[in-house]
């Protein structure tokens, strides 16, 4: 369909963290498969386990966790096992990257980072809107809990030279620019903590998703090309979603195949070029209204059309004799 | 400041439910105070106790409940005591209205309803955005819980001929038009269940707050004239609020004094006239950026300017000889 | 309610053309009434009769015409009697203006014109949208018919030194700027043919109602301050009106009390000042959603607030020493 | 140019109703031609004759009718002959569809309908805007006339198992959603009465053309991909058209080649998928500013790009273990 | 007309710098006049002389300078005499303020600053747009020139405890936020260099005039309530002005009486309250389309309506028991 | 990359005026190069020298002029040598066009014009914004100077049958529609004076760039397809540019590759077709954010997609029998 590479997910059959760590030849096998398909790989993603690290665990988490991490479902136990699994993911990522070093040697360098993308969960998401009246002390406890649980994880990432890219997203400790800045502050500006930039979670909220790039130029570790539309529907459901399912025609916003939504990717690419982002543009395709194959192909074409190399020559000096 | 009436709140020193029920002369005393200020009264509000009926109780609820309702803070106990307090509120409202009958006899009739306005709480608010993946079964359990707890309350309202007006609002079982319709369905279209219409909670979400009126013409029991603005801030905080306080300059939306926000009250008044709403327009003033007295006065003036009597004469027939 | 003057309509009990011409003391009686109310008068309006001059007459016209003009209802006869009545209206206007000369002597001069405002009707309105395919020859026949019927009338207006102000309006020979220009051309630029400018018929069509003023600076004989809103409704009825009644909530547009609609009167006043319009701003109040008395009073206040005297001093020279 | 099929028009040289009924081998000849061009066909259109069924006939109709239907031009006679011709069109359509059954057997099924698209005319179009004052009784007579003339036609359609798709359009009995609903009501919800959906006639009016689809999910019999732009021109001509020709630069709106106008086809396709529309997307190309061949080719490409198969998989469950 | 105070201008007959410094009783006489009119005064303005300090002097400057400052018109001489006059203005301001201390003692304190408002001129304004290609070195020479000329002046301001408020404005060294920041940097963040905030010069350029307040909270020394509109005209003249005069109907933008333009003063007041600005809101009235007296009165009323005292109470805690 | 032709610039190595006039075989060599690349050529451009004809010369001009034209840099001398060089350019253009006559004989005719595109400079650009107060007399001197310098040049253009196309642009005598009209008037409507239409210099100013085409249908000698965006940046820099470099992320506007900006080329092409413009669409590519080769290729493709041949058939008559 035109893709050059893939981001391996730690669910489904893409990439199994424990097999990677414990099974001989597993990571090499992954690279063989990539090589057969002439694909590169710059990132591993483990959103589902990450979600459980800080969350107030409820019955819904069972469906996204392996039986081992879920265990008896006791919330604190789940959270601690999830934290350990994230550390294991970093180690598996390092092992995988090292195994592919020779294959990747003549491929585009990307940002030079080994990145695990994922979620963090949050102990305070349930309190959004802030009623009963919610004080900054209450919120801060959530950020402190995040720091207490994730700093040790990030230190282990550092030990194996891997970066963590949080996908800023509702239900996570960071879901807009302000909370992203507060999360950075909570972990003391840890150098391994950055972002898997994904505009589709920001635009419909009214967050300036281009400003996100300009505010965190050093921490854009990975980029998801995913689209959403907003300002749609029949006016009966707003940004909070009305307890409806995705693709419900009443919804104010929904995910769309890249290029069919309201995200201004032109501005995003310009900003990514301005900050000299050199990593991949990774299409995350989720559009409940479109055939998956059709969508993946058109998304790839759309992204290629956008991803021009920035110029080294500034306009006006073109008129200058010195440059002729 | 120009107001004709007041909506008595069951917190602070406005109106004490238990005193009203148990203390001789209490409700009469309330009317004496109203009479001295030449004020009318059409509604009681008890938002804080209502909130506790369905909520997942946490430490924040203690600050909004009386020691009696809070008790030992055990969630289920709190919820049940709150439910009982709402029933008592209906009874107190009836006692209060009856006591004021002769004073109110020569005042404008309003809608003819005795209304308690309030919140319901919700056991599923925490799951908005829907991650981990949240099924309709999960949501429906929330609406079923609401029905199980509120139907008995509404029956008691019916027994004393009092209506309950839910202020549709984030953190409640209904926070937009779709969830309001689903809540009505959950209680089987109970005749005592309607709305304290307040556009300030709908517009910033992207909900069509005028359509709300046209979709529920029979259930608009009370109207709050309260304003909000949206599309403001510096782009770093979206509709979800970013765990910031109200009046934080970074916020996408905030409450504003009536007439200083983005709500189109002209359309609201037209729709209320179209459905023949005859109850009061009750200014709820909340603007963290303005002096309270200044705001209350300007809000009253703004509302008076809007609240014209609708015409009985249709335009075009004015050209017709028959009408001349 | 604050008004200084009135525009007398030739229907209802304002002003009777035949009585004015034939009954001794009638026009003097009108002035006495005006004087008692301390009112001035600059214009007579006779829309209903004018409509019948060019229209394809059908059953609806009977309700807007006097029995004399309607006669047996034969279309051509109706049109000719209506044409004669418009000539009589000019004569009656002259008689009325002359009778008030001394009373008006110390009042503001206005534009110095005696104006009859009105409609013209049109033999081609029914063909708008142009299906079956409608050629320019077909349309031109309509403008030629207009010229043949109205030029003799305008000549009679000229004979008694009275101007005719067409209210540009759907169903008339002119309903936008292009058709207004074509109508002027049809009557050879007759000096007595101008406009009773009324933006409420232009804005909802998408016509640039401010440009109208700048395109016809010499022919703005009178101004109606009347408002409309557009872009409203539920999307089921468009500009063509959907065969609905005014004030139907489904409508895209409707008339509104001045200041409650979408007309930008600020731009209108600036343009009227730029062309040195000196005539009255005549509030025409039609809002099926508002009490007539309330509406008339608020419209007067709104208009007074707009109608400032233009400055004779240009900004920048205020900094210049010569002007200090 | 990329098209898979064609809609045959009963004017020009596409399809002759009387030949189809009376001439041996005629319909088979049509299929041979289609087969040679590897084209499918799902619909016949007969707009011009349909227009004459309800219209107030004038000289313009002669140019769109055959000499037989026009006859002596007496209005009632024209209307009755047009009605009979529409019945014949249904019969010819059935004969044509049956003749092509084996050829079409291995082609995409479409909606499974045999459809005649067309116009209805209207006896009340001339009264839009509603001056002289027009009562609902007056309008209703137009809908009653429509019902009286079309119900017998629709019954004959039913007898031969053919559907009639009205192209909602100015000058027809239905030209927006409100009048479309009223037309359905007028014919008692006749099962053979539905729509040839064409957004290009709705958007410039301010009608919500996406809502049209959601309001009539069972009656979208055919879809025209035709575009228009609006909000253009120089402000001198509004939606009513100013008696100008199409492509006049002063016009507020005009038809444009699909994809060059202001219609949001993305929303249309989503809505058509939501209602499970399975019929063809038929490009109707009319753009007075573009070469016909160029336009037809680019329109086909534009439409193909939009017409994706909807997904059977809903987004969020993709994260769910059960689906992996 | 409702004003409480006045800003004295050093041109016309308001305030003469040399008389203030050299003539006994002059400043006392100014206060007597203020006292007779019950006016306060917080600022002196000397825009015209300030303009000449950095400008490339041409024939136009003669009309805005006194004969003494103009002298023989030699550019460098004019610039140096203008610089000296600005120093004198600071001294005169100090003398004036001291003389009014007792009268002002019981008046609102304002910001507690003595402020001279004015312009700076610029040696590089002529190079805007930047063609022939203009390097940052070229621009920087302009800022260096500004620093070289104004730092000595600002030091003299400091010596007499007076602040200088630059009105950011085209033709000055700073005309938007970026150039304002660069000007601060050029004078090393001199504590006496701040701004006379005037949104009317920023909005039509597309500059975020509210952000200006939030970016320079410590340097808003004075505020001009002056309005402009933009997005007007007939499209033939853009932001650069087309060498037309103010009030030319073709212009994209123009100054308007406060409240009649496109400036969002609501956002401005909110931002000023957020930064705790305590100085005056000084109406600067310039509207070539309006009578001066009418404009001054309406501007005063508009400003009073906006200038509410900010609240000390934050919304949400109003629900909290602790605050009841 | 898909281009059919080229516009030769008189700087860099494209085209040397003096060589063309004085060197045998030079112009023939240019054509040989074009022929080898299968390119056509309709225009020469000499912006840099033209700029110096009217400008107030400063140090920046040295970098855009040849040593011969610059000479000793004395302003008046530079202006006169530049004027002579423009005359030489016309002569060189004629010589070049004549030399290519046989090669171009079977190529599309274009407009049939030989065009030199360029700038004029301006002695009054520095006075935009108009402070110190600038009178119309002051501006008029600038237009008179332009006329005095350019009329003789245009006469020489006429003598060799070459047209001059001014690229309307800030820093030139004409930079919007109003100043373009005034420039035409200044040179007495000289038939050789027209425009090299380039919308990228007009849109960000707020000038109606489509109206430009409709206002000067006879004088559009050449068209540059160049794009810009506006309404971007962070609000700190406005239309005046803030003394920043192109591609600075703070800028309100910037040049963009054709199709990536905010220019509505669809409207432009429609207008060009309406005025029957037959010359080339010449892509001028300047986008400091994009690789030059990538940009040139995508711009060519974008332009080809727009440049359809206009239709000779008007829509509605397609329904007419006569045309079938």
The tokens 């970066």 sit on which residue?
A163
Token pair belonging to A103: 């294959």
Confidence of residue A319 (pLDDT cuts 50, 70, 90): very low
Given a cut of 60, is residue A277 above it in pLDDT? yes
Residues of F in contact with A324 (CB under 8 A): 11-13
Is F295 close to A311, i.e. CB distance below 8 A? yes
pLDDT per residue over A210-269, tens digit each? 999 999 999 999 999 999 999 999 999 999 999 999 999 999 999 999 999 999 999 999
Q: Are D122 and D54 in contact (CB under 8 A)?
A: yes
Q: Look up residue E66 and give its DSSP letter.
A: -
Is D61 close to C132, i.e. CB distance below 8 A? yes
Token pair belonging to D269: 């396709």
Residues of B in contact with C63 (CB under 8 A): 320-322
Is D230 close to C206, i.e. CB distance below 8 A? yes
Nearest-by-Cβ selection for F314 from D11, D64, D288: D288
Closest-CA distance, D156 to chain A, in angstroms, reads 37
Q: Are A89 and A46 in contact (CB under 8 A)?
A: yes
Residue of chain A whose Cα is closest to the Cα of E134: A316
Cα–Cα distance for residue pair D10/D160, rounded to 1 Å: 18
Q: Are E122 and E168 in contact (CB under 8 A)?
A: no
Cα–Cα distance for residue pair C288/C253, rounded to 1 Å: 12
CB-CB neighbours of C34 under 10 Å: 18
Arithmetic mean of pLDDT, B227-254: 97
Run of H or E including E8? strand E5-9
Range in B194-198, B241-245, B287-291, D271-275 the model is least confident about? B287-291
Residues of F in contact with E175 (CB under 8 A): 238, 240, 242
Closest-CA distance, E102 to chain C, in angstroms, reads 32
Given a cut of 60, is residue B314 above it in pLDDT? no
Cα–Cα distance for residue pair C147/C183, rounded to 1 Å: 8
Residues of F in contact with D247 (CB under 8 A): 314-315
Closest-CA distance, A217 to chain B, in angstroms, reads 15
- CA torsion sign for C239, C244, C246, C250 is negative
Residue of chain F whose Cα is closest to the Cα of C321: F133
Is E240 close to F242, i.e. CB distance below 8 A? no
Q: How many CB pairs under 8 A join A and B?
A: 168
Q: Which residues of E149-187 are buried (b: 16+ CB within 10 A; e: fewer)?
A: bbbebbebbbebebbbbbbbbbbbbbbbbbbbebbbebb
What is the pLDDT, as a whole number, of residue A314?
45
Task: Kindly write down the DSSP assignment for every residue of A4-51, as one continuous string.
Answer: -EEEEESSTTS--HHHHHHSTTHHHHHHHHHHHTT-EEEEEE-HHHHH
**Which residues of B touch chain E, with CB atoms under 8 Å apart?**
11-13, 47-48, 63-64, 232, 234, 245-247, 249, 255, 260, 286-292, 294-295, 298
Closest-CA distance, A317 to chain E, in angstroms, reads 7
Closest-CA distance, A275 to chain F, in angstroms, reads 10
Cis peptide before F115 (omega within 30 of 0): no
Residues of D in contact with B134 (CB under 8 A): 316
The tokens 């819904």 sit on which residue?
A60
Which of C288, C295, C298 would best serve as a mutation to test chain B binding (most B beta carbons within 10 A)? C288
Residues of D in contact with F320 (CB under 8 A): 63-64
Rg (CA), chain B: 20
Is C12 close to B310, i.e. CB distance below 8 A? no
Residue of chain D whose Cα is closest to the Cα of C130: D243
Secondary structure (3-state) at B169:
coil
Arithmetic mean of pLDDT, C182-196: 98
- CA torsion sign for B184, B190, B191, B197 is negative
Residues of F in contact with A306 (CB under 8 A): none
Is A311 close to F287, i.e. CB distance below 8 A? yes
Cis peptide before B132 (omega within 30 of 0): yes
Run of H or E including B48? helix B47-54
CA angle B162, B166, B168 (to 5 degrees): 165
> Which candidate, E169, E147, E174, places its Cα nearest to that of E83?
E147
> Which candidate, C109, A57, A172, C46, places its Cα nearest to that of B319?
C46
Above pLDDT 70, what percent of chain B?
Answer: 94
The tokens 């007459």 sit on which residue?
C57
Confidence of residue B322 (pLDDT cuts 50, 70, 90): very low
CB-CB neighbours of D42 under 10 Å: 24
Token pair belonging to E186: 């050029």
Is E178 close to F208, i.e. CB distance below 8 A? no
The tokens 């009982």 sit on which residue?
B84
Nearest-by-Cβ selection for E324 from B12, B291, B292: B12
What is the pLDDT, as a whole number, of residue F318?
39
What is the pLDDT, as a whole number, of residue B319?
45
Cα–Cα distance for residue pair B264/B202, rounded to 1 Å: 12
Low-confidence ranges of chain D (pLDDT < 70): 1, 308-324
Q: Are F283 and F306 in contact (CB under 8 A)?
A: no
Is F139 close to E250, i.e. CB distance below 8 A? no
pLDDT per residue over B32-83, tens digit each? 999 998 888 988 999 999 999 999 999 999 999 999 999 999 999 999 999 9
Given a cut of 60, is residue A312 above it in pLDDT? no
**Which residues of A touch chain E, with CB atoms under 8 Å apart?**
130-134, 316-317, 319-320
Cα–Cα distance for residue pair A44/A30, rounded to 1 Å: 12
What is the pLDDT, as a whole number, of residue E268?
95
Closest-CA distance, B324 to chain E, in angstroms, reads 40
Is A206 close to B231, i.e. CB distance below 8 A? yes
Q: Are A236 and A251 in contact (CB under 8 A)?
A: no
Nearest-by-Cβ selection for B206 from A124, A169, A231: A231
Closest-CA distance, B141 to chain E, in angstroms, reads 29
Is D64 close to F311, i.e. CB distance below 8 A? no
What is the pLDDT, as a whole number, of residue A1?
57
pLDDT greater at residue E80 or residue B3:
E80
Nearest-by-Cβ selection for E319 from A133, A316, A317: A133
Secondary structure (3-state) at C203:
helix
Is A63 close to D321, i.e. CB distance below 8 A? yes
CA dihedral A251, A252, A255, A261 (to 10 degrees): 130
Confidence of residue E308 (pLDDT cuts 50, 70, 90): low
Arithmetic mean of pLDDT, E312-319: 42
pLDDT per residue over C233-278, tens digit each? 999 999 999 999 999 999 999 999 999 999 999 999 999 999 999 8
What is the pLDDT, as a whole number, of residue C303?
86
pLDDT greater at residue E107 or residue F175:
F175
3-class secondary structure per residue, chain F: CCCCEEEEECCCCCCCHHHHHHCCCHHHHHHHHHHHCCCEEEEEECHHHHHHHHCCCCHHHHHHCCHHHHCCCCHHHHHHHHHHHHHHHHHHHHHHHHHCHHHHCCCCCCCCCCEEEECCCCCCHHHCCCCCCCCHHHHHHHHHHHHHHHHHHHHHHHHCCCEEEECCCCCCCCCCHHHHHHHHHHCCCCCCEEEEECHHHCHHHCCCHHHHHHHCCCCEEEEEECEEEECCCCCCCCCCCCCCCCCCCCCCEEEECCCCCCCCHHHHHHHHHHCCCCCCEEECCCCCCCCHHHHHHHHHHHHHHHCCCCCCCCCHHHHCHHHC
What is the pLDDT, as a whole number, of residue C56?
97
The residues, any chain, with a CB within 8 Å of residue F84's CB and separated by 6 or more, are none
The residues, any chain, with a CB within 8 Å of residue C221's CB and separated by 6 or more, are C111, C113, C115, C117, C163, C164, C165, C194, C195, C196, C279
pLDDT per residue over F42-53, tens digit each? 899 999 999 999
Angstrom distances, CA of residue C58 to CA of B320, C224, F5: 15, 28, 64
What is the pLDDT, as a whole number, of residue D310?
62
> Which candidate, D118, D123, D117, D9, places its Cα nearest to that of D58?
D123
Secondary structure (3-state) at C160:
coil
Cα–Cα distance for residue pair A204/A209, rounded to 1 Å: 10
Cα–Cα distance for residue pair F8/F13, rounded to 1 Å: 9
Task: Tell me the longest C-alpha to C-alpha distance in chain B.
Answer: 75
The tokens 């440009």 sit on which residue?
C211
Residues of A in contact with F287 (CB under 8 A): 311, 315
Confidence of residue F97 (pLDDT cuts 50, 70, 90): very high
Cα–Cα distance for residue pair C19/C7, rounded to 1 Å: 18
Arithmetic mean of pLDDT, E296-312: 76
CA dihedral C67, C71, C77, C79 (to 10 degrees): 10
Secondary structure (3-state) at E219:
coil
Arithmetic mean of pLDDT, C174-193: 98
Arithmetic mean of pLDDT, F255-265: 94
- CA torsion sign for E160, E166, E172, E175 is positive
Closest-CA distance, A314 to chain E, in angstroms, reads 11
Token pair belonging to A285: 């395709």
Cα–Cα distance for residue pair E35/E23, rounded to 1 Å: 20
Is F182 close to E243, i.e. CB distance below 8 A? yes
Arithmetic mean of pLDDT, B222-245: 96
Arithmetic mean of pLDDT, C217-232: 95
Cis peptide before B170 (omega within 30 of 0): no
What is the pLDDT, as a whole number, of residue A73?
97
**Which residues of F touch chain A, with CB atoms under 8 Å apart?**
11-13, 47-48, 63-64, 232, 234, 245-247, 249, 255, 260, 286-292, 294-295, 298
The residues, any chain, with a CB within 8 Å of residue D154's CB and separated by 6 or more, are D164, D187, D190, D192, D193
Phi, psi of F7 (to 5 degrees): -110, 120
Nearest-by-Cβ selection for F313 from D64, D292, D294: D292
Q: Are B318 and C247 in contact (CB under 8 A)?
A: no
Q: How many CB pairs under 8 A join C and D?
A: 166
């Amino acid at each position: 369909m035109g893709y050059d590479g893939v981001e391996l997910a730690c669910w489904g059959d893409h990439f199994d963290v424990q097999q990677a760590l414990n099974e001989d030849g597993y990571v090499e096998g992954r690279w063989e498969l990539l090589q057969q398909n002439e694909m590169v790989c710059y990132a591993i993603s483990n959103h589902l386990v990450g979600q459980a690290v800080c969350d107030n665990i409820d019955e819904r988490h069972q469906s996204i966790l392996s039986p081992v991490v879920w265990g008896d479902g006791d919330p604190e136990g789940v959270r601690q096992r999830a934290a350990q699994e994230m550390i294991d993911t970093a180690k598996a990522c390092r092992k995988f990257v090292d195994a592919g070093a020779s294959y990747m040697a003549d491929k585009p360098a990307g940002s030079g980072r080994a990145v695990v993308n994922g979620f963090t969960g949050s102990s305070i998401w349930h309190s959004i809107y802030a009623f009963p009246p919610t004080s900054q002390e209450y919120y801060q406890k959530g950020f402190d809990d995040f720091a207490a649980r994730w700093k040790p994880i990030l230190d282990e990432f550092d030990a194996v030279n891997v970066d963590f890219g949080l996908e800023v997203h509702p239900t996570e400790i960071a879901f807009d620019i302000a909370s992203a800045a507060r999360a950075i502050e909570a972990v003391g500006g840890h150098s391994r903590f950055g972002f898997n930039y994904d505009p589709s979670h920001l635009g419909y909220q009214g967050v300036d998703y281009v400003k996100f790039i300009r505010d965190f130029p050093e921490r854009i570790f990975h980029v998801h090309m995913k689209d959403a539309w907003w300002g749609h529907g029949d006016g009966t459901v707003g940004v909070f979603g009305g307890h409806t399912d995705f693709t419900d025609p009443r919804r104010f916003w929904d995910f769309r195949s890249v290029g069919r939504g309201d995200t201004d990717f032109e501005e995003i690419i310009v900003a990514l070029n301005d900050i000299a982002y050199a990593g991949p543009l990774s299409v995350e395709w989720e559009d409940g209204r479109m055939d998956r194959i059709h969508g993946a192909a058109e998304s790839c074409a759309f992204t290629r059309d956008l991803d021009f190399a920035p110029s080294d020559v500034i306009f006006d000096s073109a008129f200058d004799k010195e440059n002729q």
